[in-house]
Structure 1
Amino acid sequence: MNPLLDKLHPYPFEKLRALFAGATPPAVAPIRLSIGEPQHDTPRLVKDALTANLDGLSTYPTTLGVEALRESIAGWLQRRFSLKAVNPASQVLPVNGTREALFAFAQCVVDGSKPGALVASPNPFYQIYEGAALLAGAEPAFLNQTSENGFGLDLDELSDAQWARVQLIYVCSPGNPTGRVLSLEDWRTLFELADRHGFVIAADECYSEIYFDEAAPPLGALQAAEQLGRKDFERLVVFHSLSKRSNVPGLRSGFVAGDAAILKKFLLYRTYHGCAMSQSVQLASIAAWNDEAHVLDNRRLYREKFDRLVPLLSPVLGISRPDAGFYLWARTPDDDAAFARALYAATHVTVLPGQYLAREAHGLNPGAGFVRIALVAGVEECVEAANRIVDFCQSFR
């Protein structure tokens, strides 16, 4: 067996099951706010497009995807991020959701034959970044995101010698779990580092369509690159998904876009990897990328949840509205794992301990003392969960 598999950590939800072992919650309806699985209704237009194109199941799909899908994605990128041009033939590649692509990307980009290869990522982080780095033969290098630095990437935590070993950096904006959006100046600094040291940037933007102000959508990486005059999105690849935007996590549909030279190699890798998207799913995805009405309605529901929950939870957990995304990153009055277990046992509400989303780096675990609350359930269910949390916190203190 591949010995690198032994380096993988248990997934956060495995740790959560172990944490809850032996706890007996009350006989009230369970409310699970631990996993970022959208629970709003799947749009009818996506269902109709999927069932109308089931004949596509009778053919082998191509890894490059159908031209119409790549054109719809390129068009969406140009509309959403005000881009001048995106070439659907060379700068767009459909993938089976961001999780699969984020993992595979490191296997393609990292040169494991070079000793000391590093893959940088935020901390807390999406655990796929770490697993992808380890199985590519690299060592993860974590950049702590703390309240003291506004949950930004602390790029100074790595020395010049360490940056010289970085081959790939994962960036998540809007961030999971903090919801922070990188600014244009953040991107400028990151691009300068990439140029100086020659590493590739993988920008995970799967939460980019969950935001609060319709007049101020989150800045995207490709958008920042174009505004800063970077040619051909050099050293940059972005990852997008329909899961959160269109409430279709089971469709497993997304795309990568950016540097054509990198995507050419990634396409070669994926051809051997055997991860082509079903043509039926591709055609349903076209319907989703071409429609914004359902996305506006989706944001309205999330906006209502934040409007109602932030005032309830702020006095007991010190939370504030994030820049974007559907998570609350809440400070706990005690150890976060103990808090999550006690909350579950007392209220049947599930949240995720922050320490499970981070690693100890530079002398601390930046997730410790926080819990992640995913506002993915229906509006009234989220309000019910918040009321239970408030009652619990008042007694817990």
Structure 2
Amino acid sequence: MNFPERFSNLPAYAFPRLRALLDHHAPGGDVVHMTIGEPKHAFPAWVTDLISENTGGFNSYPPNEGTPELRQAFCEWVARRYDVTLDPETNVLPLNGSREGLYNVAMALCPESKNGQRPVVLMPNPFYQVYMLAAISVGAEPVFVSATEASGHLPDYTSLPKEVLDRTVACYICSPANPQGAVADHAYWSDLIALAEQHDFQIFADECYSEIYRDAPPVGVLQVARDAGADPERVVAFHSLSKRSNLPGLRSGFVVAGPQSTARMRQLRMYTGAPLPLPLQAAAAAVWADGAHVDDNRAQYREKYDMADRILGNVPGYKGPEAGFFLWLPVEDGEAAALSLWQATGVRVLPGAYLSQNDASGVNPGKGYIRVALVAPKPDVERGLTAIRDHLYGTQ
């Protein structure tokens, strides 16, 4: 039996790797899960009522391109949030969770070569693992650009050599960033758009954490692209209800793009997509239209930000996130810290190296960090953060 070689050298996925590290050791206390970014706040109670009211839709195949009502809800949300006007027929496409789109966008839009050479797809390092898989799947070279404290925890794509940028067909960028919580400001987006225009590549903007923030709402790439008068096909933006509305199981995301890009993604999705069932599309349209529950969700995360600042504020190198729901905490060695913490306290965190690749010099930019998710109930978060402080830092 012959199997493809393109996936043969993939690193172990983060969570099986974590289980291999921790699970043959007994926890040192009651378990507190602070690894996976799975929101645990309550979602709106009326969501289940809407699904029940629309159960007749389970008797029909759902449209791949989404119902008109759902696409309109996407556009109205973008108009409220970013003051950007979209056409529901040509600018938006529903996704079965944003990960589907973050993978398939490369399939639909990345060319087989550029300037007669193998194409490059840029991505931050650390990164969401689907970015790498998408690049590999289309035969592109994934180029990992370290997002460290020195670069504001965002990748500096402008620093890359011209020969790399001239082969680049797309770059992934996550803002607010997972795992660091850094936010791309207007100047960052402007510089990136100008770079993409200069070297003719697309920006795949993963903005699924855009509604969880400490102070001001993060600026969106769509706003900046509009202000810059960029090519409408230059930017592809992804959004999701998973974090915004605590509905990861509903699998409602969407992508915004120029008409040509949207048409290509829609064509691919006709063959490969897994459309959201009609009762779930009806519920999703209502959830995208409602902002009250999002305000409440954000307030709960702000309480957790304040809790983290209070408990960890004296830890050397601690910096509270601007947005998102992860802490990116400096340690000597993330893997050793995660194992020691588990054995001593039962608190479960993720080594930063599991989200990163070695750079050109052989250094993994995530090695000296742990990622801590603030998704558990507040008493568990407080206990977990206190254990992290006391065990790893010994700082009161």
Q: Which residue of 2 aligns with 1:252?
A: 251
1: distance between equivalents of 2:171 and 2:128?
Answer: 13
Q: Shift of the alpha carbon at 1:319?
A: 1.7
2: distance between equivalents of 1:11 and 1:237?
Answer: 26
SS of the residue corresponding to residue 143 of structure 1 reads strand
Q: Which residue of 2 aligns with 1:7?
A: 9
Q: Which residue of 2 aligns with 1:342?
A: 340
Cα RMSD over matched residues? 1.6
Q: Shift of the alpha carbon at 1:5?
A: 2.3
Q: What is the CA deviation profile of residues 37-94 of structure 1, one whole-angstrom value per residue up to 9, with x for unaligned ones?
A: 00111211222212221111111111111001000110000001122x1111110100
Q: Which residue of 1 aligns with 2:239?
A: 240
Say whether residues 1:118 and 2:120 are aligned partners: yes
1: distance between equivalents of 2:273 and 2:169?
Answer: 25
2: distance between equivalents of 1:196 and 1:102?
Answer: 24
Q: What is the CA deviation profile of residues 333-380 of structure 1, one whole-angstrom value per residue up to 9, with x for unaligned ones?
A: x21100001001111111111111111113222111011111001111
Q: What is the CA deviation profile of residues 142-183 of structure 1, one whole-angstrom value per residue up to 9, with x for unaligned ones?
A: 111111122122224421111111111111000001111111
2: distance between equivalents of 1:170 and 1:217?
Answer: 21
Q: Shift of the alpha carbon at 1:227?
A: 2.1
Matched pairs, number: 391
Counterpart residue type for residue 62 of structure 1: P
Equivalent residue for 1:202, pick from 191, 195, 204: 204
2: distance between equivalents of 1:371 and 1:157?
Answer: 27
Q: Which residue of 2 aligns with 1:172?
A: 174
Counterpart residue type for residue 71 of structure 2: R
Residues 16 and 352, structure 1, Cα contact 8 Å, conserved in 2? yes
Residues 211 and 218, structure 1, Cα contact 8 Å, conserved in 2? yes
Q: Which residue of 1 aligns with 2:264?
A: 265
Change over 3 Å in CA distance of 1:255–1:379 after alignment to 2 = same
Q: What is the CA deviation profile of residues 261-314 of structure 1, one whole-angstrom value per residue up to 9, with x for unaligned ones?
A: 101100001101132221111111011001001000000100001101222113
Residues 45 and 287, structure 1, Cα contact 8 Å, conserved in 2? no
Matched ranges for 1:1-397 at <5 A: 1-26=3-28, 28-83=29-84, 85-112=85-112, 115-213=117-215, 216-230=216-230, 233-316=232-315, 318-332=317-331, 334-363=332-361, 364-394=363-393
Residues 154 and 177, structure 2, Cα contact 8 Å, conserved in 1? no
2: distance between equivalents of 1:390 and 1:198?
Answer: 46
2: distance between equivalents of 1:251 and 1:79?
Answer: 22
SS of the residue corresponding to residue 240 of structure 1 reads strand
SS of the residue corresponding to residue 201 of structure 1 reads strand
Residues 236 and 259, structure 1, Cα contact 8 Å, conserved in 2? yes
2: distance between equivalents of 1:317 and 1:369?
Answer: 13
2: distance between equivalents of 1:189 and 1:156?
Answer: 8
The unaligned stretches of length 5 or more in structure 2 are none
Counterpart residue type for residue 359 of structure 2: A
2: distance between equivalents of 1:205 and 1:317?
Answer: 29
Residues 312 and 386, structure 1, Cα contact 8 Å, conserved in 2? yes
SS of the residue corresponding to residue 308 of structure 2 reads helix
2: distance between equivalents of 1:139 and 1:227?
Answer: 31
Q: Shift of the alpha carbon at 1:315?
A: 2.1
2: distance between equivalents of 1:234 and 1:268?
Answer: 16
2: distance between equivalents of 1:229 and 1:163?
Answer: 22
The unaligned stretches of length 5 or more in structure 1 are none
2: distance between equivalents of 1:395 and 1:74?
Answer: 49
Residues 222 and 258, structure 1, Cα contact 8 Å, conserved in 2? no
More helix by share: 1
Q: Could you state the TM-score of these two structures normalised by the residue count of structure 2?
A: 0.95
Q: Once the two structures are aligned, what percentage of the paired residues are identical?
A: 42
Residues 206 and 238, structure 2, Cα contact 8 Å, conserved in 1? yes
1: distance between equivalents of 2:229 and 2:7?
Answer: 41
Residues 142 and 361, structure 1, Cα contact 8 Å, conserved in 2? yes
Q: Shift of the alpha carbon at 1:318?
A: 2.8
1: distance between equivalents of 2:176 and 2:50?
Answer: 29
SS of the residue corresponding to residue 7 of structure 2 reads helix
